[in-house]
Structures are given as structure tokens and as C-alpha cells.
């Protein structure tokens, strides 16, 4: 076999393994794999490397073994989905503690700006996937908090 044909693949594997090692160290330090696209770690363009992994996976070009290795360290394939799940987990924790989903506008839960997250969910009610809406409904999410609050206060004044 011609050495020139083997060498680029070896270099590609070496670079991929280096990227994976740098990402693992980043995850250990930061607790996540949401690397900003322009981030450089120890001279390695980690943000660009992470973006390429997501793109290759989306295109069906990422080797299954590599995808398995990335999944094993909790690689985030879709940042928006991860952020939504993080907000939902914070809301679930809030409800378990408080007994309701009426979140104050400036409530922060586990580093999540939960009040803002809840407001965004309400404003996207009609455009969000049904599966998310069902999960919020099952949790007891209040879609029209202001109307319910106004009606409740009016009834209280009439008594």
C-alpha cells in the first residue's frame, strides 16, 4: 500500500483523537460540551472541532464509533434541545419544592433563569413541538398566568 494514501488518514485520526482529548478535558473543567465556536483550548481550535463533529453527524459522515465516544461523555448534539431540557429540569425541581409552576419573573433555579425560560415557553406555545407542550401540561404548567391571577383576585374582592 502506498504510504501517501495511509498518512492523511492517520493524520485525520490523530487530529480527531486530539480533539476528543481536549474536549474531555474541557468537559471535566466546565461540566458541559457547549464549546463556543471561536474557542481555542491549549492552541487547539476546539470550538471549530466541535462544530465539525455536529455537522458531520448531521450529514451522516461521523463514524459510529466516534459518535458513541462523544455520546459517552455527554456530547450535546443540539444546543437548543439541551437548553430546553435544562430549563424543564429546573421547572420540575421548582414545582417539586414549591408545589406549583407559577414562577416569578426573576426566579433562578440551578443557574437557569427560570422566570425568563417560562416566559419564553408561554410566548412560543403555538409554535413549540407537541411533545414539549404535553410535557409542560403534564407538569401543570400555567400558560396564562396573568388571566388566572386577575380572575382569582377579582373573585377574592367580590367575597
pLDDT in tens, 93-128: 999 999 999 999 999 998 999 999 999 999 999 999
Give the side-chain half-sphere CA count within 13 A for 42. Answer: 8
Provide the pLDDT for residue 151. 53
Domain ranges in the chain are 3-72, 79-158
**Cα gap 15→40, rounded to integer Å:** 15
Average pLDDT over residues 57-76: 95
The answer to whether 26 touches 46, Cβ cutoff 8 Å, is yes
Q: How many helices (H) and strands (E) does the chain have?
A: 7, 0
Task: Specify the 3-state DSSP secondary structure of 112.
Answer: strand
Amino acid at each position: 500500500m502506498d504510504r501517501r494514501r495511509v498518512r492523511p488518514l492517520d493524520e485525520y485520526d490523530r487530529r480527531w483523537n486530539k480533539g476528543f482529548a481536549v474536549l474531555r478535558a474541557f468537559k471535566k473543567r466546565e461540566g458541559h460540551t457547549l464549546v463556543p465556536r471561536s474557542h481555542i483550548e491549549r492552541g487547539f481550535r476546539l470550538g471549530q472541532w466541535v462544530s465539525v463533529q455536529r455537522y458531520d453527524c448531521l450529514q451522516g459522515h461521523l463514524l459510529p464509533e466516534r459518535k458513541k465516544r462523544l455520546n459517552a461523555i455527554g456530547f450535546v448534539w443540539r444546543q437548543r434541545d439541551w437548553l430546553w431540557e435544562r430549563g424543564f429540569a429546573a421547572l420540575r425541581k421548582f414545582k417539586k419544592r414549591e408545589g406549583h409552576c407559577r414562577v416569578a419573573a426573576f426566579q433562578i433555579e440551578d443557574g437557569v433563569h427560570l422566570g425568563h425560560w417560562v416566559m419564553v415557553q408561554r410566548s412560543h406555545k403555538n409554535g413549540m413541538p407537541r411533545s414539549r407542550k404535553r410535557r409542560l401540561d403534564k407538569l401543570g404548567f400555567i400558560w396564562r398566568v396573568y388571566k388566572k391571577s386577575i380572575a382569582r383576585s377579582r373573585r377574592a374582592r367580590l367575597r
